[in-house]
Amino acid sequence: MTIKKECEKKYDKNMERKKDFSTISNLPIKPIYAPSNNPNFQFEKDLNFPGEYPYTRGVYTNMYRGRLWTMRQFSGFGTAQDTNKRYKYLLKHGQTGLSVAFDFPTLYGRDSDNPMALGEVGKCGVAIDTLKDMEILFDGIPLDKISTSMTINPPAAMLLAMYIVVGEKQGIPPEKLTGTIQNDMLKEYQAQKTWIYPPEPSMRIITDILEYCSENVPKWNTISISGYHIREAGSTALQELAFTLANGLTYVEYGIKAGLDVDKFAPRLSFFFDAHLDFFEEIAKYRAARRIWARMMKEKFKAKNPRSHLMRFHTQTAGCSLTAQQPENNIIRTAFQALAAVLGGTQSLHTNSMDETYALPTEKAVKIAVRTQQLIAYETGVPNTIDPLGGSYFVENLTDKLEKLTYEYFDKIEILGGVISAIDKGFFQREISQSAYKYQRALDKKEKYHIGVNIFDEEEKVDIETLKIPKEVEENQRKTLEKVKTERNNAKVKESLKKLSNAAKNGENLMPKIIECVREYATLGEMCETLKEEFGVYREPIIF
Amino acid sequence: MKKKIRVLVGKPGLDGHDRGAKVVAAALRDAGIEVIYTGLHQTSESIVEAAIQEDVDVIGLSILSGAHMTLFPRIIELLKEKNAEDILVIGGGIIPEEDIEKLYKMGVKKIFTPGTPTGTIIEFIKKVIK
């Protein structure tokens, strides 16, 4: 009798405690896995060694035995002074990289004195209006010693330009700067919904950044192709994987179409994934992602530089999995998710804090989150060997399955005319909101469980300290902005904005013009408005 | 025939997190409630205007950006100005406990925090709108 039949006989349905066993994303799970579940598996073709094509086991040969992942907490609130203080606190407690959270007005390229900014200034991130704020944000932080990730999308070019100029003022040339801008507009239209311009001009700005950085800021990660927001908006693990990779391939296509050499810009593309609750599904997702990317880059785009094949990625634990009920449980959820990210070979990691269903985290909550990563790194022994789950019948089977199903999604997207055309048709938006609703229904019907929400719930008075953003922040920020506007040379600002507008019209690379505007202390809003006049604004199709 | 309950689900301000708003909108719709979803990036003025035009019983606001202490009172004030105080205002999002108390004092009828079953929201609306 084969192992498979033996198992099926032994694990009779009647003996099981529930009818269906499946991942949180509804992939069915067998009672046990054996070699017969992966009959076509070939070690060298599918797995191989870490640092070897197709990189299933990790992008580097020695992974965490060489260097641990970067512990990078996403943070920002209030004014640039407030956030600068938090950064210094995080660095003091052993964090090894910075990650800037901007407030909503900044994310949308609006100044703090814009009417739509009312009540939002400094609330869910730091407010940046001009170079002045950026100088304060990084005051006393040497930009050649630290790498900085900036979660910024429509105005990514402007924030990168500000970073470059702050670097110059510290005496650090652009070629020495290391860091990341998110700059992933496709997932904005699909999931995170922070947009200014329509997709085509957004893609032009992105390819301008690719071109500029490959010449001038060669160590900068130019796009962080993000599944995180797709997942947080409610997608399944498979949709996160498939849509993110489809977006990544679209950027490569556009880069090539703009006349760039794939091996020049592809090595600077990086990725960003969620770490959700279903432990093995997440690990398989990261492994499948590396393999698919390597295969597509080599086979479809004929990239020759091995660095173009590497999927390097950041991970953040799942904010959407945290509960307002029994908030301390969030520490434990986050620890499991972080462990999955490490077992999946992440290059950097953000762990959420327990109080984030209430507000931005307090210092104490953030410290526990950082300690969670340090526990994994220094106490569990998990980083001692590379890809410890490689060869697990189950994990390999799940990895294969996710890869196969991803190709099926690629075909669907292709039939719809590619990613941008599928966005116009509302395909991703519909897929994601349907999955979100399906999951909520499963919770409501108790087909799936969430501790403290639909099982082991209790009447409780939550007593948790939360971070408060003082009311004066908004007022102070507006005052700072006003002061900058009176002190700068307004004629030069006007002139630099005119040059930006001309470049937008005639197709010149926008980056040098934006840097010029930044130097003159043009505001983020002024630069974005200038481009809006040329590029227009995006309107979403309303789907629920 | 009993008039159907009408609810406007609104996303005021710049916040782009629309998962909760959409899930609630779909759940209310499936529970037989008429739902109007505004889409993202609405001003307080446009939400109040739409609520009056659509003759809704309830406005449900979703705010995850931290701007709740500005946006809720603004919408309640605008409803008063337009003599439309009979429209109930409820909401959800990332809102700390102590702000919830303050919002109730300002006239917000109910705040639902993350992890609320959709059934609880439906029940609440059906109970208060008879």
Give the structural domain span for A12. 3-35
Return the pLDDT at A525: 98
Return the pLDDT at A7: 61
The DSSP result for A419-481, as a single string, is: HHHHHHTTHHHHHHHHHHHHHHHHHHTTSS--BTTTBS--------------THHHHHHHHHH
Question: Across the interface, do A433 and B70 touch by the CB < 8 Å criterion?
Answer: no
Pairwise CA distance, residues A106 & A112, whole Å:
8
Q: Which domains does chain B have, with CATH numbers?
A: 6-128 (3.40.50.280)
- How many CB atoms are located within 10 Å of the residue A188 CB? 23
B29 to chain A: closest CA residue: A544
Q: What is the mean pLDDT of residues B59-76?
A: 95
**What are the chain A neighbours of B70 within 8 Å (beta carbons)?**
118-120
Q: Are A216 and A160 in contact (CB under 8 A)?
A: no
Quick one: A360 and A273 in the same domain? yes
- Determine which helix (DSSP H) or strand (DSSP E) holds A225, and give its type and residue range: strand A223-226
How many domains does chain A contain in total? Answer: 2
Pairwise CA distance, residues B19 & A274, whole Å:
16
HSE on the CB side for A53, CA within 13 Å? Answer: 14
Quick one: A308 and A181 in the same domain? yes
Q: What is the mean pLDDT of residues B49-55?
A: 97
CA distances from A309 to A100, A110, A167, A250, A360 (A): 27, 37, 30, 15, 37
| Residue A466 domain flag | no
Q: Is A460 on the interface with B (CB under 8 A)?
A: no
CATH code: domain of residue A205: 3.20.20.240
Quick one: A81 and A31 in the same domain? no
- Give A75's strand partners: A100
Q: Is B3 on the interface with A (CB under 8 A)?
A: no
| B117: nearest Cα among A388, A448, A342 | A448
Quick one: A67 and A177 in the same domain? yes
The DSSP result for A237-278, as a single string, is: HHHHHHHHHHHHHHHHHHHHHTT--HHHHGGGEEEEEEE-S-
| Residue A543 domain flag | no
- Give B93's strand partners: B63
Return the pLDDT at A465: 87
Quick one: A258 and A337 in the same domain? yes
| Residue A51 domain flag | yes
At A4, the pLDDT band (50, 70, 90 cuts) reads low
Return the pLDDT at A90: 86
Quick one: A66 and A29 in the same domain? no
Quick one: A358 and A318 in the same domain? yes
Residue environment code for A287-310, b if the CB has 16+ CB neighbours within 10 A, otherwise e: bbbbbbbbbbbbeebebeebebbb
Residue with the bigger pLDDT between A224 and A124: it is A224
Report the amino acid identity of residue A42: Q
Percent of chain A with pLDDT over 90: 89
| Residue A218 domain flag | yes
Distance from chain centroid for Cα A461: 34
Q: What is the mean pLDDT of residues A311-324?
A: 96
- How many CB atoms are located within 10 Å of the residue A146 CB? 16
Q: Are A128 and A105 in contact (CB under 8 A)?
A: no
- Nearest beta carbon to residue A323 from set B15, B114, B118: B114
The DSSP result for A15-44, as a single string, is: GSSSS--B-TT--B--S---GGGSTT--II
A109-156 tens-digit pLDDT: 999 999 999 999 999 899 999 999 999 999 999 999 999 999 999 999
Q: Is A537 on the interface with B (CB under 8 A)?
A: no
| Residue A408 domain flag | yes
Quick one: A20 and A52 in the same domain? no
Pairwise CA distance, residues B44 & B63, whole Å:
12
CA angle, corner A217, sides to A208 and A60, nearest 5?
A: 110
Quick one: A351 and A274 in the same domain? yes
Give the position of tokens 């810009």: A265
| Residue A254 domain flag | yes
Q: Are A504 and A531 in contact (CB under 8 A)?
A: yes
Residues 226-285 of A with CB under 8 A from B: 232-234
Question: Across the interface, do A192 and B43 touch by the CB < 8 Å criterion?
Answer: no
Quick one: A256 and A140 in the same domain? yes
| Residue A157 domain flag | yes
Q: Is B26 on the interface with A (CB under 8 A)?
A: yes
Strands in B58-63's sheet, in edge-to-edge order, are B34-37, B6-10, B58-63, B88-93, B110-112
At B115, the pLDDT band (50, 70, 90 cuts) reads confident
Quick one: A91 and A144 in the same domain? yes
**What are the chain A neighbours of B103 within 8 Å (beta carbons)?**
none
For residue B69, report the phi and psi dihedrals to the nearest 5 degrees: -75, -10
Quick one: A111 and A31 in the same domain? no
Return the pLDDT at A463: 82
| Residue A303 domain flag | yes
Question: Across the interface, do A444 and B18 touch by the CB < 8 Å criterion?
Answer: no
Pairwise CA distance, residues A110 & A104, whole Å:
8
The DSSP result for A270-317, as a single string, is: EEEEEE-S-HHHHHHHHHHHHHHHHHIIIIIS---SHHHH---EEEEE
Q: What is the mean pLDDT of residues A320-327?
A: 94
Return the pLDDT at A11: 63
Could you report the predicted ipTM of this complex, rounded to two decimals? Answer: 0.89
Mean pLDDT in chain A? Answer: 95
Question: Across the interface, do B117 and A443 touch by the CB < 8 Å criterion?
Answer: yes
Instruction: Please determine, for residue A62, whether its predicted confidence score (pLDDT) is greater than 70.
Output: yes
Return the pLDDT at A460: 83
Helix (H, G, I), strand (E, B), or coil: what is residue B87? coil
Percent of chain A with pLDDT over 70: 97
Pairwise CA distance, residues A226 & A246, whole Å:
11
Pairwise CA distance, residues A24 & B19, whole Å:
17
Q: Is A329 on the interface with B (CB under 8 A)?
A: no
Instruction: Please determine, for residue A1, whether its predicted confidence score (pLDDT) is greater than 70.
Output: no
Q: Is B65 on the interface with A (CB under 8 A)?
A: yes
Angle between helix A427-444 and B118-128 (nearest 10): 80
Q: Which residues 6+ apart lie within 8 Å of A296 measured at CB? A: A245, A249
